[in-house]
Chains A and B, each alone.
Chain A
Amino acid sequence: MSYVIGVILLAVITSLACALPGVFVVLRKNSMIVDGISHAVLPGIIVGFALTQDLNSPILILGAALAGLLVVLGNEWLSDTGLLAGDAPQGLIFPALFAAGIILVSMDLQHAHIDTNAVLVGDLNLAVFPALIVNGVNIGPEYLYVMLAVLAVNAAFIAVFYTRLKLTTFDRQFANVLGMRTRLLNTAFMFLVSMTVVAAFKAVGAILVISLLVVPAATAQLISKRLSVMMALTAVFAVAGALAGFWIAYVLNTGTSAAMAVFYGAMFVTVALTAKIATHIRRNRRSSKSTAAAISAPNVGAVAGE
């Protein structure tokens, strides 16, 4: 597999793997918790890397994901105790852990050579190394298969639990009355999100992963009346952004993940403005139509009133 194809495929698969759970992250208004996870898992990733010397290691990914989940649950518990108001627990826990991770990186722990810059924004162009060689044939980046596995797990989870995820997200209390295990489902889902964030870390870094998770879904929600439509549009936006981001980075000779994040932002603004203008036009047309109807049939109201 050629280098360029490897980077493009990796960008597309990573963006899809993040965007699918992103739909529910956006609808549950959990975006900032996910941002928190992406920061809080950093020490876990660094320690894991020092131990395994491999960012693709499933042990590292699952271990760091578990640590991320613990942070989410700890966050919920801290909120429940009422010691801190609102989202203050997030401001308390996540930056401290992130900073601990940064210190670990700069300490060159066990000679874990991770570039601070790569920690922040990742590097898709480097993430394609090493390639997976089967029977002497290069079948693409090893990391591509890690992200494919994450995408498959995410897609399967959403497919199996679709109605439950939908109902607990929309109306948790009603779901509880129907007997759904909403807390368990929430914990499983947050674990999946945590795992996705850790896995995508190598490609897009701790700061930019939130963009891949949140922006395609947030853009899709602007123009979706139904959840199934929102899911499909999210996938379309995610892939479009990955391809455009790669192309921009290629032309400008810059980082793919950063170009993707910028394109996602521009895409959201464009769709938001278009949707706003479209509603405006529709409303004007509707009101001029109803005025016309009132003029052409002035007696309708009077007849109905009789």
Chain B
Amino acid sequence: MTPIACECRDLSVAYREDPVLRRVNFCVPTGSVMGIVGPNGAGKSTLIKAMLGLVTPLAGTSEFFGKPLDDVRNRVGYMPQSASVDWDFPTTVIDLAVMGTYGELGWFRRPGKAERARAMAALEQTGMQAYASRQIGELSGGQRQRAFLARALVQVPDLYFMDEPFQGIDAKSQQAMIDVLKDLSAQGKTIVIVHHHLGSVLDFCDHVTLLNKSIIASGPGEETFTKDNIRIAYEASDGAEAFLAEAG
């Protein structure tokens, strides 16, 4: 049996009185690229936020490489939804990438030459080296996401969580990011990716979880990403119907 990169048991989350996740059991095999798919408000982002402790769950536990998050933080990377930061913040692209090293700096050390070199290498990987000295607000949507991906790469984690990395980006950026994902996957890294575009899920995910407040199906893509499961998850919403009609 493949070892488990991360899993959660009986995870339940509510915002105020509204339940968002109900007793979710979710596990990601090491080395897989797991897509989390579901309609708006299905709790996709909430699931990874609750696992990472960014949202306090009502109940349930999460483990990473068989341990609580606090023991293995340096092995876990996170790429938040890009809408969640202030783009007027005075920071350049290279500064942003250097932030990926902050977790290992400790109390008094400042990032130096070595950290900047690592950040630059990550920017090269995502094709962003030419923009290193730009203020982040001057970037296009796709460039922003590639800069954030570079920051996650700088951490050199074994497990990546990415929240809607392909939202609002151009085709060139999407291809650059998919190339990086395939690269990471080839190195044996595990990737958990929240995605909302049904048509492209199997382009880069080998595992799929269909979620709508609870897990509909989770496992290898060819077993779980079926018309029936999609229909259940999306409760026959328009987007899914269009996709299903197209898929035949």
Interface residues, chain A, CB within 8 Å of chain B?
27, 29, 82, 160, 162-164, 166-167, 169-171, 173-180, 221, 224-227, 229-230
Query: Is the CB–CB distance between B102 and A167 below 8 Å?
Result: yes
Query: Is the CB–CB distance between B73 and A177 below 8 Å?
Result: yes
Query: Is the CB–CB distance between A82 and B89 below 8 Å?
Result: no
Query: Is the CB–CB distance between B92 and A160 below 8 Å?
Result: no
Q: Chain B residues with Cβ under 8 A from A227's Cβ?
A: 89-91, 95
Is B111 positioned at the interface, with any CB of A under 8 Å from its CB? Answer: yes
Query: Is the CB–CB distance between B95 and A226 below 8 Å?
Result: yes
Is B219 positioned at the interface, with any CB of A under 8 Å from its CB? Answer: no
Taking A160-B108, A179-B73 as contacts, is the C-beta distance between A171 and B80 under 8 angstroms?
yes
Q: Chain A residues with Cβ under 8 A from B88's Cβ?
A: 221
In the assembled complex, how far is the CB of residue B149 from the closest CB belonging to chain A, in whole angstroms?
13
**Pick from B49, B73, B76, B86: contact of A27, CB under 8 Å:** B86
Q: Which residue of A lies closest to B106 (CB)?
A: A163
Q: Chain B residues with Cβ under 8 A from A170's Cβ?
A: 85-86, 89, 91, 99
Is B150 positioned at the interface, with any CB of A under 8 Å from its CB? Answer: no
Q: Chain A residues with Cβ under 8 A from B89's Cβ?
A: 27, 169-170, 227
Q: Give the 3 A-B CB pairs with smallest separation, nearest first.
A: A178-B103, A177-B78, A225-B135
Q: Which residue of B lies closest to A231 (CB)?
A: B90
Pick the most buried of B54, B76, B90: most chain A CB atoms within 10 A of its CB.
B90
Q: Which of B39-76 contact A (CB under 8 A)?
A: 49, 52-54, 70, 73, 76
Taking A163-B102, A167-B99, A174-B78 as contacts, is the C-beta distance between A179 and B70 under 8 angstroms?
yes
Q: Chain B residues with Cβ under 8 A from A175's Cβ?
A: 102
Q: Chain B residues with Cβ under 8 A from A169's Cβ?
A: 89
Taking A82-B16, A163-B111, A225-B135 as contacts, is the C-beta distance between A177 and B90 under 8 angstroms?
no
**Pick from B76, B99, B135: contact of A171, CB under 8 Å:** B99
In the assembled complex, how far is the CB of residue B178 from the closest CB belonging to chain A, in whole angstroms?
23
**Pick from B54, B107, B108, B111: contact of A177, CB under 8 Å:** B54
Q: Chain A residues with Cβ under 8 A from B90's Cβ?
A: 27, 221, 224-227, 229-230
In the assembled complex, how far is the CB of residue B6 from the closest CB belonging to chain A, in whole angstroms?
13
Is B187 positioned at the interface, with any CB of A under 8 Å from its CB? Answer: no
Q: Chain A residues with Cβ under 8 A from B53's Cβ?
A: 176-177
In the assembled complex, how far is the CB of residue A174 from the closest CB belonging to chain B, in whole angstroms?
6
Q: Which residue of A lies closest to B73 (CB)?
A: A179
Q: Chain B residues with Cβ under 8 A from A164's Cβ?
A: 102
Q: Chain A residues with Cβ under 8 A from B91's Cβ?
A: 166, 170, 225-227
Q: Chain B residues with Cβ under 8 A from A167's Cβ?
A: 99, 102
In the assembled complex, how far is the CB of residue B110 from the closest CB belonging to chain A, in whole angstroms?
7
CA gap between A224 and B88 in the complex, in Å: 10
Query: Is the CB–CB distance between B103 and A179 below 8 Å?
Result: yes
**Pick from B80, B102, B111, B133: contact of A173, CB under 8 Å:** B80
Query: Is the CB–CB distance between B86 and A173 below 8 Å?
Result: no
Q: Which of B207-233 contact A (CB under 8 A)?
A: none
**Pick from B52, B92, B105: contact of A163, CB under 8 Å:** B105
CA gap between A164 and B198 in the complex, in Å: 38
In the assembled complex, how far is the CB of residue B163 from the closest CB belonging to chain A, in whole angstroms?
9
Write out, one digit per residue, whether chain B residues 81-100 have a CB within 8 A of any chain A CB (1) or not (0). Answer: 00011101111100100010
Taking A27-B86, A171-B84, A221-B90 as contacts, is the C-beta distance between A176 and B103 under 8 angstroms?
no
CA gap between A175 and B111 in the complex, in Å: 16
CA gap between A304 and B91 in the complex, in Å: 34
Q: Which residue of A lies closest to B80 (CB)?
A: A173
CA gap between A163 and B109 in the complex, in Å: 9
Write out, one digit per residue, whether chain B residues 108-151 have a CB within 8 A of any chain A CB (1) or not (0). Answer: 10110000000000000000000001010000000000000001
CA gap between A246 and B162 in the complex, in Å: 53
**Pick from A27, A162, A174: contact of B110, CB under 8 Å:** A162
CA gap between A27 and B86 in the complex, in Å: 9
Query: Is the CB–CB distance between A174 and B80 below 8 Å?
Result: yes
Q: Which residue of B lies closest to A227 (CB)?
A: B90
Q: Which residue of A lies closest to B88 (CB)?
A: A221
Q: Which residue of A lies closest to B55 (CB)?
A: A173
Q: Which residue of B lies closest to A223 (CB)?
A: B90
CA gap between A229 and B89 in the complex, in Å: 12
Q: List 20 A-B contacts (CB under 8 A).
A: A27-B89, A27-B90, A160-B107, A163-B105, A171-B99, A174-B80, A176-B52, A176-B53, A177-B73, A177-B76, A178-B103, A179-B70, A180-B102, A221-B90, A225-B90, A225-B91, A225-B135, A226-B90, A226-B92, A227-B90
In the assembled complex, how far is the CB of residue A73 from the closest CB belonging to chain B, in whole angstroms?
18
Pick the most buried of B78, B88, B105: most chain A CB atoms within 10 A of its CB.
B78
CA gap between A179 and B71 in the complex, in Å: 10
Query: Is the CB–CB distance between B99 and A174 below 8 Å?
Result: yes
